[in-house]
Amino acid sequence: MRELTEVRALLARLDEVEADVLESQDLDFKEWPSDDRHAIRLAVDMAVCMANGGGGTVVLGVRDRVIGRTNAIIGVPGSATPHQLKRDIYERTAPKLTPEIIELPVAEGTGRLFLLQVYGGLPPYTTSAGAGTVRRGRDCVPLTGDLRDRLMVERGESDVTAVTIPEPVESLVSPAALERLRDMARQEQAPADLLRKSDLDLLGALEILRDGRLTKAGLLIAGNAGAITRHLPNYDWTHERMSSSTVYVDRADGREVRELALPLALQALEARINADNPITTVEHGLYHYEFRAYPTVALREALLNALCHLDLRLASPVLVKQFPRKLEISNPGGLVGGITPANILHHPPLARNPLLVHALAKLRLVNRSNLGIGRMFEAMLIEGKQPPLIIDEESAVRVVFKRQETSPAFREFIADEGKNGRVLDVDHLLVLRYLLDHAETDTATAALLCQRRDAEMRDILDEMLQVYGYLQRGGAGRGSWWRLQPALHRKLEGAGHAERDQRIDLEVAKTRVLNMLKARQQRAQAGLTNAEVREVTGYTRQQVNRLIHELEAESVRMVGHGRGARYEFVLPPQPGQRKIDNDPTSM
């Protein structure tokens, strides 16, 4: 949910953008209907929607498709009271919802807004008439049977992996899977006394034995191929080596190679991926380090996520597609519990298969504090690579890695910073990596990139500026922007990037544009367009506007409007010469 200070900051942005642009999974803006009955119905529906989506804030009294505070902020009528609205919501929801309703004074409209602060509880919630919606991104979608099932999964009430199997445990387990499981756990420094236990005692300690029966979580972790095929008919994995988007040249299925238990599946998939996962050697002092195109840590986290969070009710495999320039890892079942690709880095952890994740967490193979996604990002970023792309396709989650070479300069910088006691986290790495591809960033862009709120992001950027000395700052207030220190930019990109160094040098950009404008004027040619300035400077459209503003002192101005606008160099009039307006549209 959003705090009052954050909502006020968002309202200030209504002069620049429509309210719906500011909406997210946990935030919505709604205009207060003129009819009181419709207003109550709207508040009830939004309370249900937000509660089912994990909680959030609804700002009542704001139009969402107009620009300008005066136009957007209509307000809430004086006849409406927080106490009565809270009572109306309580009486019209099942189970009962008791949101917090805060009155927010404003200068526009009726002078007041309502903040509907809805807490996530134990969904599914509906209206007293049985209707319900759930928050998905910026929308409230109908609470269909599939979504109700998903909510039950999120509450842990339909954990498929907790079901026991009515067969002797000895006939279900695989000694090879258990041995591989111990090896993996040993590498992750799992408790030694746990790994020394006998097979049955180990399964018991992992809590995947219940009343002497093996659960399906235990079957996934340590089962033999025959037992998994019988009792988990929808489960499988497939690896395809693709030559194009529609043609594969090599394929393997878990059932065919009979490596279905999670430790064996992980080992088989890693081996197949690494057969075409080249190693780059990077020299650092007297040492030579080896890095794969797809880092081992990132691969393992992505594969474990896919194998742990798959929906066993869907007849679809964990699918790995390996293309010449990218790798895709997907698992059946969408993201749960209000988690989206836009908040997954910091969202509290939720598991579709709680018992399975609990057992693997005891072995330290997965982390229950939602560190796995961060580790995946970090493993790519510390090598100077772009982070993975996470896509929620409703019925599946797909993680896409771009095949990239390790940047020796970036990797050396990270190593040196570590020696100096500076351990950079994912936020710092995301900003640094972004600024290698973009001349600058503002707070809002960086906040979206790092999945942080604006206030959090400002603190991070200030730390990178004042404590670490990585950034330069320009502008002021909401117009502030940040870019890399030129020396650091050169260091991170290494040799061969002189043109990029010029791109971020304001004085070089000014000189370049002035010279071109003067040359065009001497040849009686038209001035430069915004697009032409962007091409020669590498700046964005907004950066060009700021550049031209600074060049006004050098007699540069914009002539015309819209697509026909151009920037022209206007020579100052000579002594005794009447000043001539250079705008051809003037009379």
Q: Which fold has domain 4-143?
A: 3.30.950
pLDDT at 30 over 50: yes
Residue 44 clears pLDDT 80, i.e. is over it: yes
**Residue 126 predicted with pLDDT over 50:** yes
Residues in the chain: 587
Going by C-beta distance under 8 Å and a sequence separation of 6 or more, which residues neighbour residue 215?
A: 161, 162, 163, 164, 165, 208, 209, 355
pLDDT of residue 370: 60
**Can you read off the two tokens belonging to residue 581?**
């307006």
| Cis status of the peptide bond prior to 82, with omega within 30 of 0 | no
Please write the tens of the pLDDT for every residue from 453-490: 988 999 999 999 999 999 998 876 666 889 999 899 98
Buried b (16+ CB within 10 A) or exposed e, 387-424: bbebebeeebbbbbbebbebbbbbbbbbbeeeeeeeeb
- Model confidence at 577: pLDDT above 50: no
- State pLDDT tens for residues 224-279: 999 999 999 999 999 999 999 999 999 999 999 999 999 999 999 999 999 999 98
Percentage of the chain modeled with pLDDT above 70: 90
Of the pLDDT bands very low, low, confident and very high (cuts 50, 70, 90), residue 114 is very high
326-332 sheet: strands from edge to edge: 248-253, 237-242, 318-322, 326-332, 396-402, 389-392
Q: Round to whole Å and give the CA distance between 26 and 11.
A: 16
Please name the amino acid found at residue 451: Q
Which tokens is 274 given? 């690494």
Q: What is the pLDDT of residues 542-555, one digit of tens each?
A: 778 888 888 888 88
Cα(338)–Cα(344) distance, rounded to whole angstroms? 9
Backbone angles phi, psi at 55, to 5 degrees: 100, 160
Which is more confident, 582 or 89?
89
Average pLDDT value for the chain: 87
**pLDDT for position 367:** 74
The type of residue at 158 is: S
Q: How far apart are CA 483 and CA 503, in angstroms?
A: 11
Q: Which of 224, 215, 313 is nearest to 261 (CA)?
A: 224
- Dihedral angle of Cα 246, 249, 255, 261, to the nearest 10 degrees: -100
**If pLDDT is split at 50, 70 and 90, which confidence band does 575 have?**
low
SS3 content of the chain, % helix, strand, coil (to 5): 45, 20, 35
Mean pLDDT for the stretch of residues 520-535: 81
Q: At residue 519, what is the residue type?
A: A
Q: What is the pLDDT of residues 59-101, one digit of tens each?
A: 999 998 899 999 999 999 999 999 999 999 999 999 899 899 9
For 34-43, the CB contacts below 8 A with 24+ separation are: 36/79, 36/80, 39/80, 40/85, 40/88, 40/92, 43/85, 43/88, 43/89, 43/116
Q: Domain boundaries in the chain? A: 4-143, 148-406, 434-502, 506-569
DSSP annotation of 79 reads T
CB 428, CB 460: distance < 8 Å: yes
Across 18-22, 152-156, 533-537, 564-568, the highest mean pLDDT is recorded for 18-22
What per-residue confidence (pLDDT) applies to 502?
39
**Topology (CATH) of 506-569:** Arc Repressor Mutant, subunit A (1.10.10)
Do the domains 148-406 and 434-502 sit in the same CATH topology, yes or no? no
What residue type is assigned to position 495 of the chain? A
Q: For residue 150, what pLDDT is reported?
A: 66
For residue 179, the number of C-alpha atoms closer than 13 Å in the C-beta half-sphere is 3
Predicted confidence at residue 149, as pLDDT, reads 64
Tokens standing for 250? Answer: 């090599």
The string of pLDDT tens digits covering residues 396-435 is 999 999 999 999 999 999 989 998 999 899 999 999 999 9
Nearest-10 crossing angle of helices 541-550, 530-537: 100
pLDDT at 183 over 70: yes
Mean pLDDT of 173-191: 95
Residue range 434-502 forms a domain whose CATH class is: mainly alpha
Burial class for 69, CB neighbours closer than 10 Å (0-12, 13-18, 19+): middle
**pTM, two decimal places:** 0.67
Q: Are 489 and 501 in contact (CB under 8 A)?
A: yes
> Closest Cα partner for 132 from 31, 38, 46?
46
Q: Where are the beta strands (DSSP E) in 90-216?
A: 93-94, 100-105, 112-119, 126-127, 133-136, 139-142, 164-165, 209-210, 213-215
Give Cβ neighbours of residue 24 (< 8 Å, ≥ 6 apart): 137, 138, 342, 343
Q: In the CATH hierarchy, which fold is given to the domain comprising 148-406?
A: Heat Shock Protein 90 (3.30.565)
User: What confidence score (pLDDT) does residue 157 get?
Assistant: 56
Whether 309 and 226 have beta carbons less than 8 Å apart is answered as no
State residue 500's pLDDT score. 44
The answer, yes or no, to whether residue 177 has pLDDT greater than 90, is yes
**Between β-strands 389-392 and 279-284, what pairing exists: parallel, antiparallel or unpaired?**
unpaired
What are the phi and psi torsion angles at 287 (to 5°)?
-105, 150
- In degrees, rounded to 5, the angle at the alpha carbon of residue 152 between the alpha carbons of residues 330 and 162 is 75
The residues that bridge with 217 in the sheet, in sequence order, are none
Q: Which of 92-106, 260-274, 324-338, 562-576 has the highest mean pLDDT?
A: 260-274
With residue 473 as reference, give the H or E element that holds it. Answer: strand 471-474
For residues 44, 46, 48, 53, the Cα torsion angle rounded to the nearest 10 degrees is: -170
- At 256 the pLDDT is 95
How many helices (DSSP H) and strands (DSSP E) are in the chain?
25, 24
Q: What is the Cα–Cα distance from 268 to 176, expressed in whole angstroms?
A: 13
Q: Cα(564)–Cα(531) distance, rounded to whole angstroms?
A: 11
Confidence at 499, pLDDT banded by 50, 70, 90: very low
pLDDT band at 586 (very low <50, low <70, confident <90, very high): very low
pLDDT for the residue numbered 158: 64
Average pLDDT over residues 571-575: 54
